[in-house]
Amino acid sequence: MTALLEAEGLARHYAVRLGGLLGRRGVLRAVDGVSFRLDPGRTLALVGESGCGKTTTAKLVLGLVPPTRGTTRFEGEALPPAGTAAWRALRARMQMVYQDPLGALDRRLPVVVQVAEPLAIHGGLRPAERRERALAMLAQVGLPAPLAQRYPHELSGGQRQRVVLARALILGPRLIVADEPVSALDVSIQAQVLTLFEELQARFGVAFLFISHDLKVVRQVAHEVAVMYLGRIVEQGTPEALFGDPAHPYTRALVSAIPVVRRNRARVRIVLEGDPPNPIAVPPGCAFHPRCPVALAACRSEVPVLKARGDGRLVACHLAHGEAAARRPAA
């Protein structure tokens, strides 16, 4: 089957000023060689701490920022250069949903008008037809007609996120990139919106690239999870594998921080030591080695490659593959 979305070796580096009298410059490696595939109607979650490169990856696959190197293919074709007519036509099939629905909506317009807007931009329908379709789509995301006439500030956070989803879906996209779509919502509303994501996927067959720092959230919606650290994927697999038996020490630390709700199921929290990641000063070898509780001598100089472990998941850790070079504990 042809992948809906394929990223191959995507990287995005930025030249930055480091300050000082000599005006030193450095390179910020926001994303540094990310590869994955997403099949139609599936959900791939990108997770990791703030600053790990999740959002930049999302912008790269949509063509919103150009890559320093690497390629993105959508339905088997290379992504056209941003701003071209071919790219604009493709964007109707690749939509984005942001964290802050209020910021994504125009406070001066009723929501039904905003949901109909993409139909006006892409042409082909009369105003009454556009409005009818917008009302139908708002009903599909659980927003009844009386609420459709309201302005964004008259709706709750959950209702606004439904409006944003309706606007993203109105052109029948194959892919929606959702960047922290529920992190601004109350926990009770989060569950409802996550269920809506699942229902919409079943109804429309849309694929989601779901970005979140919250592992609890992705556990509910993802078919596959990729954990990012300092611009790279360090582990990728099904939620069952990652949450049940995390292989990478960083994933283990993230999973250990998820609260356990069942009685008699305590989990020992792994607290990572050392500084939070700085993408301007990526450590040599394994970028995680200064914080890794099980680092070995070789981890300081040898970059672990993301590769299959034989149990259906990909891991970038010397220990996960038992590499001979990485046997000696760090001093």
Stretch that binds ligand SF4, among 97-105, 193-201, 273-281, 315-323 (CB under 6 A): 315-323
Q: How far apart are alpha carbons 158 and 164 in whole angstroms? A: 10
Residue 294 binding ligand SF4, by CB under 6 A: yes
Cβ 227 to ligand SF4 shortest distance, Å: 11
Nearest to 8 by CA among 71, 80, 79: 71
Stretch that binds ligand SF4, among 26-34, 70-78, 140-148, 289-297 (CB under 6 A): 289-297
Binders of ligand SF4 in range 175-194 (CB under 6 A): none
Residue 313 binding ligand SF4, by CB under 6 A: no
* 227 neighbors 250 (Cβ within 8 angstroms): yes
Cβ 271 to ligand SF4 shortest distance, Å: 15
CB neighbourhood size of 35 (10 A)? 17
Residue 292 binding ligand SF4, by CB under 6 A: yes
Residue 315 binding ligand SF4, by CB under 6 A: no
Stretch that binds ligand SF4, among 57-65, 84-92, 267-275, 288-296 (CB under 6 A): 288-296
Q: How far apart are alpha carbons 241 and 219 in whole angstroms? A: 11
Taking CB under 6 A as the criterion, the residue among 134, 286, 306, 314 binding ligand SF4 is 286
Give whole-number Cα distances, 173 to 93, 185, 271, in Å: 4, 24, 41
Taking CB under 6 A as the criterion, the residue among 166, 227, 228, 317 binding ligand SF4 is 317
Residue partners of 206: CB distance under 8 A and separation at least 6: 41, 169, 173, 174, 175, 176, 200
Q: How far apart are alpha carbons 160 and 111 in whole angstroms? A: 9
Residues that bind ligand SF4 (CB under 6 A): 248-249, 286, 288-289, 292, 294-296, 299, 304, 317-319
